[in-house]
């Protein structure tokens, strides 16, 4: 789990499994466990290259996940993936999509950030979102954006 993730609330995270996909350590699939939420794991897939970086993750119930691992039917396991992607904005003056090194930063060029969440706010499909749930989602998006910028050492411009 990284600094951008609001689900961990800054608490300790344990890696249960980490599968590297290729030679870059940034390309991996992982199962993570937050100390503060004993009954939940997070499945996370990350990928980075010269053209994009993305992280997709989904919280899952540990009991359901353990039954899937042992070969049980996975159709009843609820998975609502969320994540973000970072792409260059098209200016060729900045060859790297993400960098925290000062010497590689440029005043011309930048990146585009897309954040997507799938959140169950009510179990009824016909229910309308409450103002409280809209406020919570706005806070979630704002905090996630701030945490991504902090983890990449990006300043506001």
pLDDT at 1 > cutoff 90: no
Task: Give domain limits for the chain.
Answer: 13-151
| pLDDT given for residue 108 in this prediction | 61
pLDDT at 7 > cutoff 90: no
| pLDDT given for residue 103 in this prediction | 59
Other Cβ atoms closer than 10 A to 34: 19
pLDDT in tens, 49-63: 888 899 999 999 888
Query: What is the value of pTM for the model shown?
Result: 0.75
pLDDT in tens, 99-155: 555 555 555 667 889 999 998 877 888 888 889 989 988 998 998 888 888 887 776
Contacts 24+ apart (CB under 8 A), 43-51: 43/79, 44/1, 47/21, 48/24, 48/97, 48/98, 49/24, 50/95, 50/96, 50/97, 51/87, 51/88, 51/97
CA neighbor of 92 nearest in space, from 140, 33, 50, 129: 50
In angstroms, the CA 77 to CA 131 distance is: 29
Copy the structure tokens of residue 118. 């799938």
pLDDT at 95 > cutoff 60: no
């Amino acid at each position: 789990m990284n600094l951008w993730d609001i689900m961990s609330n800054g608490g300790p995270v344990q890696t249960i499994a980490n599968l590297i996909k290729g030679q870059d350590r940034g390309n991996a699939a992982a199962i993570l466990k937050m100390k503060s939420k004993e009954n939940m794991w997070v499945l996370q897939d990350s990928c980075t290259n010269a053209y994009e970086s993305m992280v997709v993750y989904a919280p899952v119930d540990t009991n359901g996940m353990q039954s899937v691992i042992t070969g049980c039917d996975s159709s009843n396991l609820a998975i609502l993936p969320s994540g973000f992607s970072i792409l260059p904005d098209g200016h060729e003056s900045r060859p790297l999509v993400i960098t925290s090194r000062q010497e590689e930063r440029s005043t011309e060029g930048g990146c585009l950030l897309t954040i997507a969440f799938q959140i169950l706010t009510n179990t009824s499909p016909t229910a309308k979102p409450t103002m409280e749930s809209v406020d919570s989602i706005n806070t979630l998006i704002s905090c996630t954006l701030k945490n991504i910028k902090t983890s990449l050492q990006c300043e506001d411009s």
